[in-house]
Every structure is written in C-alpha cells, then in structure tokens.
Amino acid sequence: MDTARRARPIRTGLFQIDPPRLLGSACQNCGIRSFPARDFCPACLSDDVEANVPLSPSGTLYSFTTVRQAPPGRKTPYNLGYIDLDDGVRLLAQIDITHDELEIGMPLQVNLRPVGMQEDEDLIGYVFVRGEARERSVR
Ligand SMILES: [Zn+2]
C-alpha cells in the first residue's frame, strides 16, 4: 500500500491496516468472537468482552449472492457473501471474485483497498479475495 499518502479506515475500530486484520471482540467468559466488535457477548450475554481483537485474515465461503440493485453511487453488480473466518466468526462482506468463480467452501482472505477520498486521505475499506488453497478440514 502507498504509505506516502495518509490512509484511514472507513470506520474507526472496524479493522487495522498493518497487518490487515478485521477487529472484533472476544468474550472472556465463553471465548466466542464477534464482528463487528460488541460490548457484550451475543452467545452468553456476558459483558466481559475484550475489544479490538485482530481476527483471522482467512476463512471459507459459507454462502453468497449477487447484488444487482444498490443505492445511487454504488456500482453494480457486486457479490456479497457470508464468510466463516478460521477463528469461528461468520460475517457478511463484499467478495471481489466474479460470480462464476465463486464456490461455497472456497478459501478467502481479507484485503484492504482504497474506496474513496476524504480531506486528502485515502478511505480504506475491506473486501474478501481468493485465499490460498489448502486442505479441506474434515468436520
Ligand atoms: Zn460469551
């Protein structure tokens, strides 16, 4: 990434830039991780949660759809999917892979990229891209 220009996430606390990791919360009671970060655990309702926990950058595609209608200013079509990160978090995100190449269970990894400019700073957003092929886990 170009470090000469200043860059910041589209929303504070959503992810860190170097190394690229989404930031979630981790329950200190049951261990469940959440994204985006929450101030309580959605599984056991404990409020003993740690914030700003870097999540696994890789996961697999659980399900996906193609979005063909969007608010003005948003280019269509694009693909959205549920991704199961390796540390157990399931999240919804844009996937930068053509529809025909998407396959449930395929490896994906998080990727940060400029999505716009604001006050001379690059606004950085996240998408998921094809990840390294690896052995399928047996469940
Ligand atoms: Zn919990």
For 57, what's the count of Cα atoms within 13 Å in the CB-facing half-sphere? 16
- CB contact at 8 A, 7 and 121: yes
Gap from CA of 72 to ligand 1 centroid (Å): 39
3-state helix, strand, coil in the chain (%, to 5): 0, 45, 50
State the sign of the Cα–Cα–Cα–Cα dihedral 41, 44, 49, 52: negative
Gap from CA of 51 to ligand 1 centroid (Å): 13
Query: For the purposes of burial, counting CB atoms within 10 Å of the CB of 120, is it exposed (0-12), middle (13-18) or buried (19 or more)?
Result: exposed
DSSP class of residue 89 equals -
Gap from CA of 8 to ligand 1 centroid (Å): 30
Gap from CA of 39 to ligand 1 centroid (Å): 11
Those residues with Cβ within 8 angstroms of residue 26's Cβ, 6 or more apart along the chain or in another chain: 32, 33, 34, 49, 50, 53
Gap from CA of 48 to ligand 1 centroid (Å): 8
pLDDT tens, position by position, 71-111: 888 889 999 999 999 999 999 999 999 999 999 999 999 99
* Residue-level pLDDT at 6: 81
- Return per-residue pLDDT of the chain as tens, 139 residues: 555 678 888 888 899 988 999 999 999 999 999 999 999 999 999 999 999 999 999 999 999 999 999 888 888 999 999 999 999 999 999 999 999 999 999 999 999 998 888 888 888 999 999 998 766 555 5
Gap from CA of 23 to ligand 1 centroid (Å): 17
